[in-house]
Amino acid sequence: MGSASVGRGQREARYERPESQCEPGMSIGTPHFNPLAAQRNKNMDLSRFARRRYTEGATPIEPLPHFSAALAASCPGGRGPQVWVKRDDMLGLFPGGNKTRKLEFLVADALAKGADTLITCGAPQSNHCRITLAAAVKEGLKCRFVIEERVPNTYNPRGTGNHFMFRLMGVEAITVVPAGAAIAAEMQNVADALARADRKGYIIPGGGSNALGGLGYVACAQEMQQQWFEKGLHFDCVIVGSGSSGTHGGLLAGFLGNHIDVPVTGIGVSRDPADQEPLVHQEAQAVADLLGLNMKVRRESVVSVGGFWQPKYSLPNAVMVEAVQMLARTEAILLDPVYTGKVMAGLIGMARAGALKADQKVLFMHTGGFPALHAYEAVVLGDA
């Protein structure tokens, strides 16, 4: 396990704001939303797609007043944005997280195709693998993983965090491969082995990130649009983690398709913008095409921020530790060290750099992952 220390220049990650991003006045206040007009858009009718339901009702949108005050104290002039949170950490398939939304569509497709086993991939402490396993258990299916050991010696079959959850919920088999392995081919090998045993596997890509999985965050966009309308809320910017691209790309496609004129900014958890944004653009376009929107997603609509995920994917850094501690100690909301901790570190860094203006309303998408905290306890407590 890495330490909380970072390389030279890492503690104060650099952020340069695109001119079009999160400017005052860019959001459209909720009173302009017309639910009847949204209903008339047949292409945005998700009932066309098979879907399992793993969550009862909408996840809450909550203000973070104590966190916002603590953040403002470290911003220019002692003033910062008003931060709110969309609690997708409270989604179904315990203990929740963004993959639940994607799996509602992916597992429905697996069941329709007669699969008896879900096959997916991820890093050693993969939240996606854990939630896919939970969906399999819920549906009476088996589940197998291909784990990519992106950082040498980080896979421990007797480890804590999500490793413990894998064992507790009864994953059928785990194949561990080194960094850079052909993951798609490895998953196909697992499916082929099942076929030879007269079983049928269904391959789910890493993070559940394909066009079908991306529909989960189109559904989330629609859910939030209705919540904003009902509560009289508006936001100037939405901040979301950007990794395998399905959440960021699906949310962007949902905003565009539903005419939600609020900027979406992704905080990279494994890549900087030059490498991340093309993946998000591809995902958003694939989702739009699946919906039949007859729309080209503009490249400039994809905005991400880097510099907060280093030294490597999944390895801790000081800004993540600060973010996890700050939210836990001001709002009693837990972040994970691999994804949401680094995403919140990005939000904090943007606010301190003045990219998120004083008194702007910013919505942070909490995508879950707290079981991984137990694999990093000493680090997030500052004892490492």
Q: Do 320 and 309 meet the contact criterion of CB atoms below 8 Å apart?
A: no
User: Which residue type is seen at 73?
Assistant: A
**Could you give the CA distance from residue 92 to residue 77 in angstroms, rounded to a whole number?**
41
Question: Is the separation of the CB atoms in 127 and 95 below 8 Å?
Answer: no
Structure tokens at 75: 């911003």
Q: Are 180 and 114 in contact (CB under 8 A)?
A: no
Nearest Cα to Cα of residue 331 among 87, 92, 127? 87
**Separation between Cα atoms, residue 214 and residue 99, nearest integer Å:** 10
Burial class, 182, CB count within 10 angstroms (exposed 0-12 / middle 13-18 / buried 19+): exposed
The residues, ordered by sequence, that sit 6+ positions from 158 with a Cβ below 8 Å of its Cβ are: none
Where b means 16+ CB within 10 Å and e means fewer, 129-161 reads bbbbbbbbeebebbbbbbbbebbeebbeeebbb
Report which of 150, 142, 280, 124 is spatially closest to residue 199, judged by C-alpha positions.
142
C-alpha Rg value of the chain to the nearest Å:
20
Catalytic status, residue 209: no
Chain-centroid distance, C-alpha 269: 10
Using CA atoms, how far residue 44 sits from 197, 244, 253, 290, in Å, is 40, 23, 10, 10
Phi, psi of 294 (to 5 degrees): 50, 50
Please give the backbone phi and psi of residue 110, each rounded to the nearest 5 degrees, phi first. Answer: -60, -45
Out of 68, 126, 242, 244, which one is annotated catalytic? Answer: 126
CB 248 within 8 A of CB 6: no
In the chain the first and final C-alpha atoms are separated, in Å, by 10
Q: Which active-site residues does the annotation give?
A: 126
